[in-house]
């Protein structure tokens, strides 16, 4: 479970105030220097961030190799991992042409006469140790170069010197480990250039022998492990790090995967227990009031999905335990309407509701949209006629953004603090310490993937009574899917679309197939405008000099479409040039953005050239075309949200994903998935498979940093569910886990040892 370099691990914590004196010396918290010596411990700390015995044993092998059945050089296959013993035939060194340093090329031959050439970049050590005639064991992934198979920078250990003598015992003792293993599998660990897998193996085995692992606390109760057919923790560690058969590691991993799910459920259960005993104010729905008046004036009937979700939220709001729900619904399914009805229930009950949006454009759009939906109820003179039971004061819709004038901002802050503002719509400005609510009862976060976890939690932690929380998304990010799987966010799915809404037709336009492709893109856009409709064109950048990173690899990309350059180019385009165009991006002033968006909404602009500031919430029913240039610059969630800006009226919508990537580029698959699937949750799960879950316990949203070490949400969903059921069973019988000291001690020690862990977990 442990993802950080803290001195506490999920595998073995000892108590709420930290490790005992005994475990400091021999338990999971034992410093590695007491077991391995200062030099080896410092290398592990510097290279891998490992400081304790528990952390080292949680550094799991990435694969296992059965050295008793070594590969033959004549049977190697590209992309396979190979391990073999061979003798060095020749070794040479030359300078690299395109970068500094040397390239060492080593040719080896095995006993069956097979030959292979390997390359070592900056291979000074290989040039020194792999002399002609030396015999060594090699391990690596088979690649190809110039039509021939090869290994680049393989791991190796010299078994016999060039003169036939035995190698001196090296620092990692690799030769002894390999030769002593016989036919038993040897673990291959994630390593670095300065510490080899063999040295990690040697350290792991020393810790297994010296750290008294038999006495480590086991977070999974024995009856739970038995019910799941799993071994205990100590056995699992030995099966992974010292296997005797190729089946042993999977047995050990199965136990540790379950433990990871079980322990995370326990941490989140502790969080829910604390939130559940906190101060919460029920906001029951009255028989009459704002919500009843709103429902009575609706010009259409609620869909079945809107009605059922509304009933579920109404029940949560009426309870003492603060709600913590993710409302997932397709673009255009009516999430904002469902949220507004929940906000009106809170206002009826004497509280205030805050709707937080990621951009000023969206916040202003939400304010206009809420007022439009409320109709005559949106006027403060009419709303004041409704005397709220708890407050008896006027309610109104108030906007607060960072770019507001001083006078407007001051008035908004006064209305919020006095309680006159019943519904407050804003951006990150709402999270400022200067914003004080009279009685905040509900926080609604729109497009929660655009907020950090700390930001999203800021309003809740400042209030004396914990407000209810509703987060909304059409395509949840991987972390949100993970949190709903673990039950920290209760998932509510808004099924169906309003009558008349159809999925948006989506196509990938590949410019590598010739200039006719982009030509046809502009033709389709012009055709829609000629038919009386409007269009969006979205670019990844504002100016040509802006930089951005690939959403998956993090590699900096230079060649991207920019709004400013595109405006210049389209001004001379024979089809687009004559059309009425406007520009919208985040560096414009609030007034400029408002002017551009309002003109587009009124139909005074045919084509809006924009960045992703129009990604969410923007509702222009006459817009039918969404053209996204360099669409590979965006993640799945953003692409799905942008697509949802069109087709919101009677006419069908069209989304064109334009890319300059070759057909077989990995990022192109992301575009194909968006084109193939219109369901947001399906796309979110595909995104999850690609990007991983993010930091389930902490604040990180990006998949490259994941609290989960062994679990994968999609692959292990059944296991995660089983772990939750087992935890619920023992918790129902023993709420404080007093009969399960290993679990209790592990959770207490983890939370005590991690600064801010309580807050991180609560922010889920």
* Region of poorest pLDDT, from 7-21, 350-364, 618-632: 7-21
Distance CA 253, CA 761 (A): 25
The pLDDT assigned to 386 comes to 38
Instruction: Give the model's confidence band at 475: pLDDT under 50 very low, under 70 low, under 90 confident, else very high.
Output: low
E strands, 343-460, where?
A: 352-356, 397-400, 423-426, 440-446
Q: Does residue 65 register a pLDDT over 80?
A: no
pLDDT band at 387 (very low <50, low <70, confident <90, very high): very low
Mean pLDDT of the chain: 79
Mean pLDDT is lowest, of 90-94, 169-173, 305-309, 660-664, for: 169-173
Q: What gap in Å lies between CA 554 and CA 11, rounded to an integer?
A: 32
Of 89, 178, 71, give the one whose Cα is nearest residue 135. 89
Query: CA-CA-CA-CA torsion for 83, 86, 90, 91, nearest 10 degrees?
Result: 40
Residue predicted with more confidence, 358 or 131:
131
Q: Are 593 and 582 in contact (CB under 8 A)?
A: no
- Report the pLDDT value the prediction gives residue 461, as an integer from 0 to 100: 64
| DSSP 8-state secondary structure symbol assigned to residue 551 | T
pLDDT of 212 reads 84
Whether 527 shows a pLDDT value over 90: the answer reads yes
Q: Bridge partners of 725?
A: none
Q: Please report the sign of the dihedral spanned by the C-alpha atoms of residue 592, residue 596, residue 601, residue 604.
A: positive
d(CA 73, CA 88): 13
747 confidence band (pLDDT: 50, 70, 90): confident
Helix (H) or strand (E) holding 145: strand 135-145
H or E element in which residue 317 lies: helix 304-317
Q: Which of 181-195, 350-364, 568-582, 671-685 has the lowest mean pLDDT?
A: 181-195
Left if phi > 0, otherwise alpha if psi is -120 to 50, otherwise beta: which for 35? alpha
H or E element at residue 135: strand 135-145
- Output the 3-class SS for 518-536: HHHHHHHHHHHHHCCCEEE
The larger pLDDT score, comparing residue 466 to residue 99, is at 466
- Predicted confidence (pLDDT) at residue 96 exceeds the cutoff of 80: no
Predicted pLDDT of residue 483: 53
- Determine the pLDDT at residue 554: 45
d(CA 579, CA 271): 56
Mean pLDDT of 136-152: 86
Q: What is the pLDDT of residue 171?
A: 45
Indicate the pLDDT class of residue 168, thresholds 50, 70 and 90: low
Q: Which of these ranges, 9-13, 400-404, 488-492, has the smallest mean pLDDT? A: 9-13
- What mean pLDDT is predicted for residues 413-418? 92
The residues, ordered by sequence, that sit 6+ positions from 23 with a Cβ below 8 Å of its Cβ are 12, 14, 29, 30, 216
Can you tell me the distance from the alpha carbon of 584 to that of 159, in angstroms, rounded to the nearest whole number? Answer: 66
What would the mean pLDDT of 337-360 be, rounded to a whole number? Answer: 91
Q: Are 488 and 271 in contact (CB under 8 A)?
A: yes
Percent of the chain with pLDDT over 70: 77
| Coil, strand or helix at 529 | helix
- With H, G, I as helix, E, B as strand and everything else as coil, classify residue 66: strand
Phi–psi pair at 321, nearest 5 degrees? -80, 125
680 has pLDDT over 50: yes
With a CB cutoff of 8 Å and minimum separation 6, the contacts of 18 are: 8, 29, 749, 752, 753
pLDDT of residue 184: 77
209-247: pLDDT as tens digits: 888 888 888 999 999 999 999 999 999 999 999 998 889
Average pLDDT estimate for 267-294: 78
Q: Which are the contacts of 639, defined by CB distance < 8 A and separation ≥ 6?
A: 628, 631, 657, 670, 671, 674
- Cα dist from 85 to 135, 178, 509, 586, whole Å: 7, 11, 50, 60
CA 367 to chain centre: 29
The pLDDT confidence band at residue 702, using thresholds 50, 70 and 90, is: very low
pLDDT at 451 over 70: no
Q: Is the pLDDT of residue 588 over 50?
A: yes
Task: Identify which of 74-83, 246-255, 718-727 has the greatest average pLDDT.
Answer: 246-255
Q: Residue 223 has what pLDDT?
A: 93
The model's confidence at residue 624, banded by pLDDT at 50, 70 and 90, is: very high
Q: How many CB atoms neighbour CB 304 within 10 A? A: 10
Residue 18 has what pLDDT? 37
Q: Tell me which residue has tokens 């400013």.
A: 564
CA distance linking residue 157 with residue 153, whole number of Å = 13
Looking at residues 291-320, what average pLDDT do you find?
90
Most confident of 119-133, 163-177, 389-403: 119-133
Torsion of Cα atoms, 504 then 338 then 426 then 446, to 10°: -50
Contact assessment for residue 566 and residue 629, using Cβ atoms and an 8 Å cutoff: yes
* Cα 450 off chain centre by: 12
Phi and psi dihedrals of 472, rounded to 5?
A: -125, 145
Among 125-134, 150-159, 650-659, 681-690, name the one with the lowest average pLDDT: 681-690
CA 617 – CA 334 distance, rounded (Å): 11
- The reported pLDDT for the residue numbered 703 is 37
The larger pLDDT score, comparing residue 447 to residue 456, is at 447
pLDDT band at 441 (very low <50, low <70, confident <90, very high): very high
Pick 561 or 331 by higher pLDDT.
561
Q: What is the 3-state secondary structure (H, E, C) of 71-118?
A: CCHHHCCCCCEEEEEEEEEEEEEEECCCCCCEEEEEEEECCCCCEEEE
DSSP per-residue letters across 622-678? TEEEEEETTGGGS-HHHHHHHHTTSS-SSSPPEEEEEE-S-TT-HHHHHHHHHHH--
pLDDT, average across residues 76-96: 86
pLDDT of residue 7: 33
pLDDT of residue 487: 56
Residue 230: the pLDDT is 94
- Residue identified by tokens 């395109």 is 98
Q: Which two tokens stand for residue 435?
A: 């914003």
What CA dihedral angle connects 301, 306, 310 and 313, to 10 degrees? -170
Angle at alpha carbon of residue 373, lines to 432 and 643, rounded to 5°: 75
Residue 382 pLDDT: 35
Whether 399 and 378 have beta carbons less than 8 Å apart is answered as no
Residue 700 or residue 25, greater confidence: 25
The predicted model gives 29-39 an average pLDDT of 91
Calpha distance 331→310 (Å, rounded): 17
pLDDT of residue 210: 87
Worst-scoring range by mean pLDDT, 46-50, 171-175, 311-315, 581-585? 171-175
Backbone torsions φ then ψ of 575, nearest 5 degrees: -95, -40
Pairwise CA distance, residues 1 & 707, whole Å: 7
pTM, two decimals, is 0.57
Residues 511 and 660: beta-carbon distance below 8 Å:
yes
According to DSSP, residue 244 is labeled S
Backbone φ and ψ for 188, nearest 5 degrees, come out as: -115, 120
Q: What is the mean pLDDT of residues 690-699?
A: 45
**Res. 10: pLDDT tops 70:** no
Asked if 653 contacts 624 with a C-beta cutoff of 8 angstroms, the reply is: yes
Provide the pLDDT for residue 160. Answer: 81
Instruction: Decide if pLDDT at 761 tops 50.
Output: no
Q: Are 287 and 315 in contact (CB under 8 A)?
A: no
Mean pLDDT of 251-276: 82
Q: Residue 22 is encoded by which pair of tokens? A: 């005994």
């Amino acid at each position: 479970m442990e993802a950080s370099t803290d001195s506490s691990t999920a595998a073995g914590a000892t108590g709420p105030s930290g490790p005992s004196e005994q475990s400091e010396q021999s338990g999971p918290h034992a410093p590695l220097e007491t077991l391995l010596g200062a030099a080896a411990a410092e290398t592990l700390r510097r290279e891998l961030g490992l400081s304790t015995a528990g952390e080292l044993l949680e550094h799991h092998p990435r694969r296992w190799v059965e050295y008793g059945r070594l590969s033959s050089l004549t049977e190697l296959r590209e992309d396979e991992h190979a391990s073999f013993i061979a003798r060095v035939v020749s070794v040479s060194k030359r300078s690299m042409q395109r970068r500094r340093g040397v390239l060492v090329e080593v040719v080896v031959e095995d006993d069956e006469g097979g030959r292979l050439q390997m390359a070592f970049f900056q291979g000074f050590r290989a040039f020194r140790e792999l002399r002609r005639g030396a015999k060594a064991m090699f391990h690596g992934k088979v690649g190809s170069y110039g039509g021939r198979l090869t290994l680049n920078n393989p791991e190796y250990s010299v078994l016999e010197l060039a003169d036939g003598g035995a190698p001196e015992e090296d620092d990692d003792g690799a030769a002894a480990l390999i030769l002593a293993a016989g036919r038993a599998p040897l673990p291959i660990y994630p390593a670095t250039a300065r510490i080899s897998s063999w040295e990690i193996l040697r350290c792991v085995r020393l810790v297994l022998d010296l750290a008294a692992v038999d006495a480590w606390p086991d977070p999974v109760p024995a009856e739970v492990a038995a019910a799941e057919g799993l071994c205990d923790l100590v056995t699992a560690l030995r099966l992974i790090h010292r296997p005797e058969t190729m089946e042993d590691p999977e047995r050990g991993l199965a136990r540790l995967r379950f433990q990871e799910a079980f322990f995370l459920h326990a941490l989140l259960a502790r969080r829910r227990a604390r939130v559940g005993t906190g101060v919460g104010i029920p906001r029951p729905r009255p028989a009459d009031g704002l919500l009843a008046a709103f429902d009575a004036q609706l010009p259409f009937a609620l869909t079945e999905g809107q009605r059922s979700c509304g009933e579920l939220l109404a029940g949560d709001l009426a309870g003492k335990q603060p709600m913590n729900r993710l409302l997932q619904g397709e673009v255009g399914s009516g999430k904002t309407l469902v949220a507004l009805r929940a906000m009106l229930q809170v206002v009826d009950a004497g509280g205030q509701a805050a709707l937080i949006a990621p951009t000023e454009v969206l916040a202003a759009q939400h304010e206009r949209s809420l007022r439009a939906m409320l109709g005559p109820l949106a006027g403060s003179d009419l709303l004041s006629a409704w005397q709220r039971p708890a407050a008896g004061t006027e309610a109104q819709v108030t906007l607060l953004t960072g770019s507001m004038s001083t006078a407007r901002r001051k008035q908004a802050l006064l209305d919020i603090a006095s309680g006159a503002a019943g519904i407050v719509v804003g951006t990150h400005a709402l999270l400022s310490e200067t914003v004080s609510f009279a009685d905040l009862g509900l926080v609604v976060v729109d497009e929660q993937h655009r907020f950090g976890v700390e930001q999203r939690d800021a309003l809740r932690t400042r209030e004396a009574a914990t407000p209810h929380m509703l987060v909304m998304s059409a395509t949840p990010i991987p972390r949100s899917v993970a949190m709903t799987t673990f039950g920290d966010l209760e998932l509510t799915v808004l099924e169906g679309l309003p009558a008349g809404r159809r999925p948006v037709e989506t196509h990938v336009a590949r410019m590598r197939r010739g200039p006719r492709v982009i030509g046809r893109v502009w033709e389709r856009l012009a055709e829609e405008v000629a038919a009386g409709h409007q269009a969006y064109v979205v670019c990844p950048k504002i100016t040509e000099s802006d930089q951005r990173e690939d959403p998956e690899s993090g590699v900096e990309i230079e060649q991207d479409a920019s709004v400013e350059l595109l405006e210049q180019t389209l001004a001379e385009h024979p089809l687009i040039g004559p059309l009425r165009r406007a520009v919208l991006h985040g560096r414009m002033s609030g007034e400029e953005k408002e002017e551009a968006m309002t003109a587009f909404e009124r139909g005074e602009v045919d084509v809006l050239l924009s960045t992703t500031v129009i990604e969410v919430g923007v509702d222009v029913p006459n817009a039918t075309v969404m053209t996204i240039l360099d669409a590979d610059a965006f993640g799945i969630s953003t692409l799905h949200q942008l697509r949802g800006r069109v087709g919101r009226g009677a006419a069908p919508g069209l989304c064109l994903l334009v890319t300059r990537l070759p057909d077989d580029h990995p990022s192109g698959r992301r575009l194909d998935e968006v084109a193939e699937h219109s369901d947001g949750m399906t796309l979110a799960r595909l995104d999850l498979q690609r990007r991983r879950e993010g930091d389930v316990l902490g604040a990180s949203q990006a998949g490259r940093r994941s609290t989960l070490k062994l679990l994968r949400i999609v692959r292990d969903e059944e296991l995660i569910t089983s772990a939750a059921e087992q935890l619920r069973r023992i918790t129902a019988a023993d709420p404080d886990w007093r009969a399960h000291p290993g679990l209790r001690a592990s959770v207490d020690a983890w939370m005590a040892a991690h600064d801010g862990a309580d807050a991180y977990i609560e922010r889920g």
